Amino acid sequence: MPRRVIIVLFGLLAALAPAVPAAAADPPVTLVGQASLRCLTVQSLSTEPGAKAIVWDCNGKANQEWTYTDAQELRVYSGSDVKCLDVQGRGTAPGTAVQTWNCTGATNQKWTLNANGTITGHHSGLCLDVTGGGVSPNGTEVKIQTCTTGTNQKWARPLADLPAGVYFQDTGTLTGWNSFPQKPQKQGVLRTVGSPVYKGATAIEARQTYINEGGGYHSETIQHRTQAVGQDRYYGQAIYLPPTWQFHNQNVTFQQWSPEDPEGPWELMYVQNDELRLGGSGGFAATLGKITNLRGTWIRIVTRLKFHATDGAFEVWVNGQKTWSRTGVAVLPKTSQTVRWSSGIYCTGWREGTPSGQSVLSIYHDHARITASYALAEPANW
């Protein structure tokens, strides 16, 4: 069954959904908790009444596919197995468990999908809540609680069909990233272009111009909350340096991963001289490969991050070849539980100095993906 990429909170989609019979409702979607980054799931794939509602890593299985009907039910499964999301015992008290049950039309099975990403029960007026808040582990129960501003009560639904194991993708657009509309620093530019492109119709040009002052020079698209501690993800994209690019001994970052809440720099991937390099405050540094003869060509890069205190992984492939690997080590985004992915250009050497090379720099980006495997992330494969 195809899974779907998370783009926006679902309130607008719910508001625009046509009133149709439940049997003819929109195709099922996943509902992803914005604190846990895990999917609303029926425990153990159970089709029996009374199965617990929990969060679990998104996997595209039938127990994570929900249909919002014109009767304001959240239905799971189909045919004789169909069940509705149900507040246990028609409870109204904070902390009451949420389960699946035979659909009855009762108000404890009716839900409102709000514009701010919360889901409120009609019978209780309370919000669908992932117990404990924060980045909750697989199997954490979902209950109803007094509504707050916490991300453990916010859920996202998708806009576009994607294969199972693909969590995000963009084919050279600015609108596909959840930081849209982006705001480049200083005289920076982010725009879609028709040439050069890796595949398809457009790519993203990320440009920065030195203006004789210090400070930040970022032109970046950002995808927030791409990964949580305990998860294993692959980040793929193709980048292009113009044929006129002058190699120089300053760091020009083209992608980075940064902790969120609290936020800050962590690991950067960048061009310096005629090399691709990795470095930052996360404790990992490496030369990933020479690109002496790769100006004017698309360079495919896939990065694996597995966040774990003892069994983590950090690996990089360049043009299909694994060029660096660390496994069975601690890989954690400092004190944060989640990271964001930034892609574009960041002229780090200009923050406190003047350009060693050209004063106007562009890097082009295309075919960005976040996935569950190397094969799905590799731009050559899709």
Is there a single domain that holds both residue 106 and residue 197? no
Q: What is the structure's pLDDT at 161?
A: 66
pLDDT tens for each residue of 249-264? 999 999 999 998 788 8
Q: 147's torsion region: left (phi>0), alpha (psi -120 to 50) or beta?
A: beta
Q: What is the mean pLDDT of the chain?
A: 91
Residue 18 confidence (pLDDT) above 70: no
Q: Are 205 and 193 in contact, with CB atoms under 8 Å apart? A: yes
Residue 12 confidence (pLDDT) above 80: no
Boundary (domain end) residue, out of 130, 160, 190: 160
* Residue 381 φ/ψ, nearest 5 degrees: -90, -5
Instruction: Give the pLDDT band of residue 4 (cuts 50, 70, 90).
Output: very low
Q: What is the structure's pLDDT at 133?
A: 81
Report, as an integer, the average pLDDT of 238-259.
98
Instruction: Give the pLDDT band of residue 131 (cuts 50, 70, 90).
Output: very high
Amino acid, res. 25? A
Is there a single domain that holds both residue 156 and residue 178? no
State both tokens at 229.
């501690």
Is there a single domain that holds both residue 190 and residue 112? no
Question: pTM for the full model?
Answer: 0.74
Boundary (domain end) residue, out of 160, 191, 219: 160
Q: What is the structure's pLDDT at 164?
A: 84
Report, as an integer, the average pLDDT of 173-182.
90
Is there a single domain that holds both residue 358 and residue 234? yes
The contacts of residue 63 (CB under 8 Å, 6+ apart) are 41, 42, 43, 45, 46, 76, 77
State both tokens at 263.
């936020």
Say how many domains are in the chain. 2
Residue 13 confidence (pLDDT) above 60: no
pLDDT tens for each residue of 213-228? 999 999 999 998 899 9
Q: Are 230 and 135 in contact, with CB atoms under 8 Å apart? A: yes
Q: pLDDT: is 375 or 23 the higher one? A: 375
Is there a single domain that holds both residue 109 and residue 136? yes
Is there a single domain that holds both residue 96 and residue 183? no
Is there a single domain that holds both residue 176 and residue 305? yes
What share of the chain has pLDDT > 70, as a percent? 92
- Domain encompassing residue 71: 3-160
* Residue 168 φ/ψ, nearest 5 degrees: -160, 145
CATH number at residue 261: 2.60.120.200
Is there a single domain that holds both residue 189 and residue 252? yes
Is there a single domain that holds both residue 96 and residue 17? yes
pLDDT tens for each residue of 262-276? 888 899 999 999 999
- Can you tell me which residue has the tokens 């691709």? 276
Is there a single domain that holds both residue 41 and residue 156? yes
pLDDT tens for each residue of 80-90? 999 999 999 99
H helix or E strand, kind and range, residue 144: strand 142-145
Q: pLDDT: is 60 or 198 the higher one? A: 198
Hey, how many other C-beta atoms are within 10 angstroms of the C-beta on 248? 17
Instruction: Give the pLDDT band of residue 24 (cuts 50, 70, 90).
Output: very low
* Residue 87 φ/ψ, nearest 5 degrees: -85, 120
pLDDT tens for each residue of 143-174? 999 999 888 999 987 555 688 899 999 999 99
Is there a single domain that holds both residue 147 and residue 54? yes
Boundary (domain end) residue, out of 160, 182, 210: 160
